Amino acid sequence: MKPARSRAVNTSSVNISTINMGTVNIGDAAKASGVSAKMIRHYESIGLIPSAGRTESGYRTYAESDLHRLRFVKRARTLGFSIKEIEALLALWGDRRRSSAKVKALTQKHIDELEGKIAEMQAMKQALQQLAHQCHGDDRPDCPILDDLAAEPNRAPRCH
């Protein structure tokens, strides 16, 4: 059994009564980091965060450094980074000899992927707007939207 870690904990967003030798339980870690308890357990299971300390009764405990790492992961997920990319970013964050060029390259690759997805979504939006414009939206059964969806690939639907 792992001994409980003893590091300072930021108590501004956790219940003081839950602090146990400088650690917080999973519920308070979730509140403090903005990451659900379920996701904390998942991140631990895939190695994104280190295994939690445990109390004698087996409850997970988290130190301030764990909360900091969870907030890092949360922010990276909010920015759309994949788990694999976050693993790389965490490794770079922990490497004091890192080159910021590596961080920038990883970030630029993510930006490029986002731009591609944005372009795809804009094309979808334009296609849907065109279809919606062609649709009368009345009591008639004819529907250019359904015709388009049912059309054979590379074959234009008939116009109404």
Question: pTM, whole model, 2 decimals?
Answer: 0.73
Q: Same domain for 91 and 106?
A: no
Residue 1 has pLDDT above 60, yes or no: no
pLDDT digits (tens, 9 = 90+) for 50-78: 999 999 999 999 999 999 999 999 999 99
**71 or 152: whose pLDDT is higher?**
71
Q: Same domain for 106 and 94?
A: no
Residue keyed to tokens 């001994």: 3
Give the confidence band of 17 by pLDDT, cuts at 50, 70, 90. Answer: very low
In this structure, of 3-7, 23-27, 35-39, 136-140, the range with the lowest mean pLDDT score is 3-7
Strand partners, 60: 54
Total domains in the chain come to: 2
Q: Determine the structural domain holding residue 109 and report its residue range.
A: 101-160
Q: Same domain for 33 and 88?
A: yes
Domain boundary among 98, 118, 138: 98
Q: Same domain for 27 and 90?
A: yes
